[in-house]
Structure 1
Amino acid sequence: MTNNMTGKPAADVWLPMEPAGISGLPDAAACGLTYRVWDGLQDFPADPADCAFYVVPYMKGPEIAMRPLPLMSRLRAVQTLSAGVDHVQGGLRAGLHSGVRLCNARGVHEASTAELTLALVLASLRGIPGFVEGQRKEEWRSGFYPALADKSVLIVGYGSIGAAIEDRLAPFECARVARVARSARTTARGDVHAFTELPALLPDADVVILSTPLTDATTGMADAAFLERMKDGALLVNVSRGPVVDTKALLVELEAGRLRAALDVTDPEPLPPGHPLWHAPGVLISPHVGGSTSAFMPRAKRLLAAQLTRYAAGEPLDNVVQTVG
């Protein structure tokens, strides 16, 4: 099929939302594009073999995300609306042709995830869950509680979300913020340490924040040895992916009362009824809502408009994290 105006082969773009609601999308007819809407909950909108640009439905899980991939023989780009791409990488390894680019949603989730991270840290330190319980029981639970001020914080995973978290820590008078990433580097805020330095950094941190992508290297990273190196009474905050933490090892530390945790993600996820993590002492759980806020949609739409404008113009895409082949 060929576009009558441009003479170029027509190419489908699969979007999880109506294109009319995305300001700044390139004109479909002028660019030889056909916008199709697929949010993962209905039948395919057209033959997947005609799809060149696939925007993965948001928060629908890996099974839905990967379902059309093996059929997308003309695919050139995959755009997630999540910061992590682990839910589609399996599909990319399953034989897509060379040159397919996988792009993440850098710039979409930083504000919301960093905001929730601070909320989890402050709620855990200041005892907010206990106050809520006390209100229900009409109990006045006064006393002294830990503050974030004067605490040492370690951010494990210093990409754009880790940096946004540090931006929001700045007014809280932390004693120290240490940063860890895959490789060492220097930023305007200070040095970023390599993951290999974690064993030496963990014992000094009052708050350890996990904001790293889920990869083969980070799966199970917060294992028994990692947790044992954390200081007594320290708070572990996970806003990355559940499998970054060894749940069984964490439960040992929580049930012993040595560590506390604030988790926006869990393993397994969703956390099933009856799982011991629900009622472990010292844990605060939110249901993976770091990015799903009112801030998501306007940023997601701006990203899609910008990426598809680049794609239609034959320009390099932003946020490319992997190229097949």
Structure 2
Amino acid sequence: MSYCRQRETIMTTLDIKTLALPTSWHMDTVQDVAGPLRLVKWDLRDDPPIPAREIDAVVFHHPAGKAGLARLGQLPNLKLVQTQSTGYDGFVEAAGGATVANAYGLHAEATAELALGLILAGQRSLFDFAVDQKAHRWAPKQTPGLVDRTVLIIGAGGIGRAIAERLLPFGVTLLRVGQRAREDDLGVIRSNSELPALLPQADIVVLITPLNDATHHLVNADFLARLPDGALVVNVARGPVVDTDALLAELQSGRLRAALDVVEPEPLPGDHPLWDAPNTLITPHVGGRSEALKPRLSAFLRDQVGRIARGEPLLNIVS
């Protein structure tokens, strides 16, 4: 099974003797490539099964959440944190100086699939028709559609590219924004500084930018006000990229529409008004959760753990 990956990062060899893995599946996956590494099963939900000082590296278990991140700070000799996600917001700080590597590329195709599904659901009113079906109601209507629409993708990394590749056959005008202006084989990528001028052109905005200080609440009241009436906001990035209150105001007014795989707060409380906002479709942060992930993750972890065991440069270093 192949997987996309970042270039190798040349770095000083990490002297790792003990690697903590979250589940029996992870242990079984890398056992035969671990060489002299000591493997310990630990999902970071509670205290480690061995003295904390003996753990050099951790494959992070995302269900452990913020409590798991806090436990990283209790490992005095931690040298490496390997995430199983593309996003790494919060990890650099929690790792306390240890190297952080992400799972760049593993989730790209699955997340792009969901992004396209959310766009089509919004543009063809599939959610409304599902509600009509449940009510046994035959109610044809004209929908905005996707062909001839302008789609603005904010985020030009691997997932952003995968989304762009899937959108092009639909006959859209594609605008892409990254941290810096450049060109690739798909065309022009504009810089963030051009966003104010691009937003009024966008029928659909797709958010797939990393979460950092610059992108926290990037989508605020001013951003949303620049979008044309009826625009669709699709978030497959991180919830805090969007100011929820600002978006909610636009949704409740009926001016904008949204399809959201990630939200702030997350998980969304049962009594949150976003659930009942008009023209809104919410999925529970499942962008990367397709059946394709497990074999891709297995191949990546075997490669990465083998590199650790052999003292070779690691993949996907982000700090």
2:70 matched residue in structure 1: 67
Q: For residues 292 and 27 of structure 1, do their structure 2 counterparts lie closer, same or farther at Cα, with a shift above 3 Å needed?
A: same
Q: Secondary structure at the match of 2:62?
A: coil
Instruction: Decide which of 89, 94, 102 is 1:91's aligned counterpart.
Output: 94
* Whole-angstrom distance in 2 between the partners of 1:36 and 1:45: 8
Q: Which runs of 5+ in 2 are unaligned?
A: 1-14
Q: Secondary structure at the match of 2:64?
A: coil
Moved more, 303-312 or 260-269: 303-312
Q: For residues 124 and 23 of structure 1, do their structure 2 counterparts lie closer, same or farther at Cα, with a shift above 3 Å needed?
A: same
1:5 matched residue in structure 2: none
Large movers: runs of 4+ above 6 Å:
none
Instruction: Decide which of 113, 116, 128 is 1:115's aligned counterpart.
Output: 113
* Whole-angstrom distance in 1 between the partners of 2:20 and 2:115: 32
What code does the residue aligned with 1:184 have?
A: A
* Whole-angstrom distance in 2 between the partners of 1:228 and 1:179: 20
Q: How many residues align?
A: 304
1:51 Cα offset (Å): 1.6
1:43 Cα offset (Å): 4.0
1:304 Cα offset (Å): 1.0
Q: Secondary structure at the match of 2:233?
A: strand
1:37 Cα offset (Å): 1.4
Moved more, 148-157 or 289-298: 289-298
Query: CA RMSD, aligned part only?
Result: 1.6
Instruction: Decide which of 158, 172, 186 is 1:160's aligned counterpart.
Output: 158
Instruction: Decide which of 262, 287, 290 is 1:290's aligned counterpart.
Output: 287
The higher relative CO (CA closer than 8 Å, separation ≥ 6) is in: 2
1:87-236 matched pairs, under 5 angstroms: 87-92=90-95, 96-97=96-97, 100-174=98-172, 176-236=173-233
Q: For residues 284 and 197 of structure 1, do their structure 2 counterparts lie closer, same or farther at Cα, with a shift above 3 Å needed?
A: same
Identity over aligned residues, as a percent?
44
Report if aligned partners of 1:23, 1:302 keep a CA contact under 8 Å in 2. no
TM-score by length of 1: 0.89
Moved more, 82-91 or 264-273: 82-91
* Whole-angstrom distance in 1 between the partners of 2:287 and 2:28: 24
Q: Which runs of 5+ in 1 are unaligned?
A: 1-8
* Whole-angstrom distance in 1 between the partners of 2:297 and 2:167: 25
Q: For residues 122 and 10 of structure 1, do their structure 2 counterparts lie closer, same or farther at Cα, with a shift above 3 Å needed?
A: closer
1:240 Cα offset (Å): 0.6
* Whole-angstrom distance in 1 between the partners of 2:303 and 2:41: 18
* Whole-angstrom distance in 1 between the partners of 2:66 and 2:16: 28
Report if aligned partners of 2:251, 2:279 keep a CA contact under 8 Å in 1. yes
1:59 Cα offset (Å): 3.5
2:23 matched residue in structure 1: 17
TM-score by length of 2: 0.91
1:170 Cα offset (Å): 2.2
* Whole-angstrom distance in 1 between the partners of 2:294 and 2:238: 21
